[in-house]
Amino acid sequence: MGGNNNHNRQLLFEEDGSTSAVIQNEQRKFTQARIERGIKAGDSLEGESVQELEDYAVQKAEETTVATYKALKLAEEIKESATNTSVMLHEQGHQITRTHETAVDIDHALSRGEKLLGSLGGLFSKTWKPKKARNITGPMLSRGDSFKRKAYGMEQRAALGLNRSNSKGKTRHTAAVADSSGSQAQTRITFAKQDEALSDLSNVLGQLKEMTIDMGSEIGRQTDALGHLEDDVGELGSRVRGANERGRRLLGR
């Protein structure tokens, strides 16, 4: 019985060293919690060893780094959504222009039909002229070349998967301390990673601000263009009704 217990105990401690690692991890958590309580309470940390304080600093630096990477990831996801929105907005502008161009084609065809209807009815028929309240203006969307270039560029980058940063793979600051060891070196590496991530986050937020301004301007242009399109479509509708009424009168003779 005792032999079995000793055997089980030996297996417990020899299995990948996991039990020992768990104990060390719990001890580290306990120490860090004690240090954190002391900091919050304003107590002296003279009783803590230098190694424990350095380990605590490393842990907190790593937690801050993880939070920074999460913020960067979220900002990149927002940027990706904004990129898709910009591309869709660019395509929407093209659709508004194409729709308005179709309205111009309808105007040309309707004008020919109106001339034909005006010439019909016989020698003694009263001359008929279509009622035109206004001329058809055609597409009025003043699209900024910069927005078109940016939307096209973002579309190409999205297709190539180039819109995301690659902060985790960067070594521009960490390479200098990569060969060092110890808590202080780990802290310096972690701080370097934070600097890289924060720099990327700042760049992404700047890009988002610029994209938002561009999209706001584009929405304003499209709103004006839709107003002109609505006016032209309303005028065409009125003329079509007048032409149909003329046609019914001619057929009723």
195-220 pLDDT, tens digit each:
999 999 999 999 999 999 999 999 99
Lowest mean pLDDT among 12-26, 57-71, 147-161: 12-26
Q: Work out the number of other CB atoms within 10 angstroms of the CB of residue 28.
A: 14
Same domain, 24 and 144: no
- Whole-prediction pTM value? 0.65
How many structural domains does the chain have? Answer: 2
Q: Has residue 21 got a pLDDT over 80?
A: no
Q: CA-CA distances (angstroms) from residue 232 to 31, 60, 85, 133?
A: 75, 64, 28, 10
Do 30 and 109 have their domain in common?
no
Q: Which domain holds residue 130?
A: 54-251
Asked if 68 and 18 sit in the same domain, the reply is: no
Same domain, 43 and 104: no
On whether both 128 and 193 belong to a single domain, the answer is: yes
Return d(Cα 28, Cα 59) in angstroms, integer: 10
Instruction: Note whether 160 and 175 are within 8 A (CB).
Output: no
Q: What is the mean pLDDT of residues 151-178?
A: 54
Q: Averaging pLDDT over each range in 120-129, 149-158, 197-206, which range is the top one?
A: 197-206
**Looking at the structure, do residues 200 and 149 belong to the same domain, yes or no?**
yes
Q: Are residues 31 and 67 in the same domain?
A: no
Please report which confidence band the pLDDT of residue 167 belongs to, taking 50, 70 and 90 as the band edges.
Answer: very low
Residues 153 and 216 in one domain: yes
Average pLDDT over residues 64-86: 94
Per-residue pLDDT at 52 exceeds 90: no
Shared-domain flag, residues 58 and 147: yes
Asked if residues 39 and 56 have their Cβ atoms less than 8 Å apart, the reply is: no
CA distance 38 to 26: 18
Q: Do 34 and 87 fall into the same domain?
A: no
Q: How confident is the model at residue 163 (pLDDT cuts 50, 70, 90)?
A: low
Query: Average pLDDT of 7-14?
Result: 50
Ranges 47-61, 69-83, 133-147, 232-246: which has the least confidence: 47-61
Q: Do 63 and 99 reside in the same domain of the chain?
A: yes
Verify that 100 and 8 share a domain, yes or no: no
pLDDT for 178 equals 52
